[in-house]
Amino acid sequence: LVFGTATSVISKAVYGLHGEGLHGDVHPFIKPWFMVFLMFVAMSVCLPTYFVAHWIATKIARRRHRTLLEHQKRHYEWSVAFWIGAPAAFDLIATILMNLGLIFVSASVYQMMRGAEMLFAALFGVTFLRRRLALENYLGILLAIIGIFIVGLASVLGNEEDKKRGTPHNGNNNHHHHHDDDNATVIMRHGGGGVGGASVEQQLLGMGLIVLSQMVQAAQLTFEEHFLDHFQVNALLVVGFEGVWGIVIMTLLLVCMQYTPAADLGGLIPADVGGVVENTQDTLRMLSTTPLIAIVVVVQAVSLYAYNFTGMSVTGHFSAIFRTVLETLRTLFVWMVDLVLFYAHVQSGGKPLGESWNSYSVLQLVGFFCLVAATLVYARGDVKTVEIAAVNERRRRSLDSGLAPVKEEESDEEGGGDDESSPFIPRLVSAPRSLVNDDDDDDDEHDMIYSLSASDLVYSTSAGKSSYGLSAASPSGGRARFFASSALRDDENS
């Protein structure tokens, strides 16, 4: 919760920090492409973390047969590194879209708009994974659509009100002075519930980019679930490899961006110093001449790594609903921190950071509660689906073994519902498609993702993103993992 809030707030606040640039002028640190690169660097640190943790675990174990088992798995894990390239590309596109959209909207609106991922995850799940939705799922989707519309409306109306009131933080425009371009491109640093000098078109563009990024992330989840769920890979290793892939791709992109005029991209992408898409020399100059920017960037990198690491560490230890509530609190905390920054008069370059409260902020709050309700209702639909599939699976196993079907009520009374000794209900930590019964194609319920105990329904994550598309991601877009733990395979074998 702490690191997740920090990453979202810093992702927006860093755009408002001012420093001395390449040509000696002072301008805001609007470097979305560099921030994307920074995110992948932070993710790649999970790779050495995995090897250190593996070395410690191996040293503690000291049992020969376990060492051999880990050695046999290692080659299998390395083989998945190649396949991680595709999810990394999805993640790269989604992160770029989010960072660009964040330029034009506030951190709170940005965080709330990410609830759109649930809509696309449900759509792709039904279309490509043959997933059936419960009534609660449809109700959650409807509430999410209403919530997103209300939040977007409140953002636009609030911005117009702030312009009329002349709110300092909403009325200031900051400029990049492009010494190499006669027609200097103006870039505005946008603030909160109203978003500064951003026009209505720019705000709609920003929100559209964020919603589009959620569609890409939902596509990433669908791809991972369909193609990569059979791999038995440690989540830290997956995130680390994805970070390495991201660094390689972003390095190539950054080289090209040094020579690509932003005007050639139709004005969609804000121009950096010199009129190009990204000027890394200017970025390094600002980092070296402005200690505050350097410190904030380092804190952001550490927060991104810590958020990924802690997000994976708690996976499986808390229920899906609890983690959903945590993500809801994160959105609320992001909004609160932004308000505190503004009314505490925290400034950079004479410009206030954070966002103000206006009469339409109440409307945004209503939209926020709609999104909270949507997430909780949708999650309940997932749990209901899992419960139905679990009962069907237990009955099928009972029939296959020649035993009388076990009723749910009798099983619960006897403690069989969650008893680890029950041969029909191993305690699982994930629900990969590889466990789905495909023998009976006529039974659609056997084609659903399921866990054999509803209490063990886990949204396997590297950064808090649920496998059912519930919005719980890092500002980079948390990456859901559909890789079963080694314990899952051991349960199946036993």
Q: Is the pLDDT of residue 472 over 60?
A: no
CB 54 within 8 A of CB 319: no
Among residues 350, 97, 371, 356, the alpha carbon closest in space to that of 211 is found at 97
Distances (CA, A) of 377 to 146, 219, 391, 413, 451: 14, 22, 21, 28, 19
Q: Identify the pLDDT of residue 396.
A: 84
Give the angle 297-476-100 at the CA atoms, nearest 5°.
Answer: 85
363 confidence band (pLDDT: 50, 70, 90): very high
Q: Is the pLDDT of residue 457 over 60?
A: no
Both tokens assigned to 447: 């084609």
The more confidently predicted of residues 319 and 349 is 349
Distances (CA, A) of 343 to 339, 347, 352, 358, 418: 6, 10, 9, 12, 50
Amino acid identity of residue 136, one-letter, is E
pTM value > 0.85: no
Across 344-383, where does the E strand assignment appear?
A: 347-348, 351-352
Q: Is the pLDDT of residue 413 over 60?
A: no
Element (H, E) at 27: strand 26-28
Both tokens assigned to 429: 């930590």
DSSP assignment string, 250-300: HHHHHHHHTT-BGGGGTT-SPP-GGGBS--HHHHHHHHHH-HHHHHHHHHH
Q: Is the pLDDT of residue 45 over 80?
A: yes
User: 3-class DSSP state for residue 345?
Assistant: coil
Among residues 40, 98, 95, the alpha carbon closest in space to that of 300 is found at 40
Percent of the chain with pLDDT over 90: 36
Q: Is the pLDDT of residue 239 over 70?
A: yes
476 confidence band (pLDDT: 50, 70, 90): very low
Give the angle 259-183-347 at the CA atoms, nearest 5°.
Answer: 90
- The rounded distance, in Å, linking the Cα atoms of 459 and 481 is 8
Q: Are strands 351-352 and 18-20 parallel, antiparallel or unpaired?
A: unpaired
List % helix, strand, coil for the chain (3-state, nearest 5).
Answer: 65, 5, 35
CA 314 to chain centre: 16
Distances (CA, A) of 185 to 177, 262, 272: 7, 9, 8
CB 172 within 8 A of CB 196: yes
Element (H, E) at 26: strand 26-28
- The rounded distance, in Å, linking the Cα atoms of 175 and 26 is 9
CB 247 within 8 A of CB 41: yes
Q: Determine the average pLDDT of the residues in 228-250.
A: 84
Buried b (16+ CB within 10 A) or exposed e, 28-49: bbbbbbbbbbbbbbbbbbbbeb
Counting beta carbons within 10 angstroms of the beta carbon of residue 365, is it exposed (0 to 12), middle (13 to 18) or buried (19 or more)? middle
- The rounded distance, in Å, linking the Cα atoms of 193 and 203 is 11
Both tokens assigned to 99: 């960072």
φ, ψ for residue 31 (rounded to 5)? -130, 70
The more confidently predicted of residues 444 and 154 is 154
- In this predicted model, what pLDDT tens digit does every residue of 285-305 receive, in sequence order? 999 999 999 999 999 999 999
- In this predicted model, what pLDDT tens digit does every residue of 178-227 receive, in sequence order? 443 333 333 333 333 334 567 888 889 999 999 999 999 999 888 877 77
CB 239 within 8 A of CB 88: no
Q: Identify the pLDDT of residue 474.
A: 33
Q: Are strands 351-352 and 347-348 parallel, antiparallel or unpaired?
A: antiparallel
Q: Is the pLDDT of residue 367 over 80?
A: yes
- The rounded distance, in Å, linking the Cα atoms of 446 and 245 is 36
- The rounded distance, in Å, linking the Cα atoms of 119 and 99 is 21
Q: Identify the pLDDT of residue 477.
A: 37
Q: Determine the average pLDDT of the residues in 116-140.
A: 89
Q: Is the pLDDT of residue 173 over 50?
A: no
- The rounded distance, in Å, linking the Cα atoms of 470 and 473 is 9
CB 294 within 8 A of CB 31: no
Q: Determine the average pLDDT of the residues in 364-368.
A: 94
CB 321 within 8 A of CB 379: yes
